[in-house]
């Protein structure tokens, strides 16, 4: 069995030095470009299952990387730590 772990792309809050934790900002334009840049190196056919947290930035990252061809199992247990408000 092979396990691949990928961190989400850069969020809209990154440049404001905000630690997002379980807040749910979207990917920034730069974050989308970054994920799109590595997507050609990811063969979505190699994955039997794809899991992501329930956060928007994680879901969008996975959709780009798998070219929207895989069912995404969303799991709130892998959401980032709550960092306060």
User: In sequence order, what are the beta bridge partners of 51?
Assistant: 73
**Which pair of tokens denotes residue 51?**
């899991």
Q: Does the annotation place 57 within a ligand binding site?
A: yes
Binding site membership for substrate: which residues?
57
Binding site membership: which residues?
57
């Amino acid at each position: 069995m092979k396990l691949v772990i990928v961190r989400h792309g850069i969020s809209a809050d990154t440049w404001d030095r905000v630690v997002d934790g379980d807040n749910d900002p979207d990917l920034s334009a730069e974050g989308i470009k970054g994920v799109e840049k590595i997507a050609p190196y990811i063969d979505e056919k190699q994955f039997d299952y794809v899991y992501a947290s329930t956060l928007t930035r994680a879901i969008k990252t996975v959709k780009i990387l798998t070219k929207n061809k895989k069912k995404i199992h969303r799991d709130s247990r892998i959401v980032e730590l709550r960092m306060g408000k």
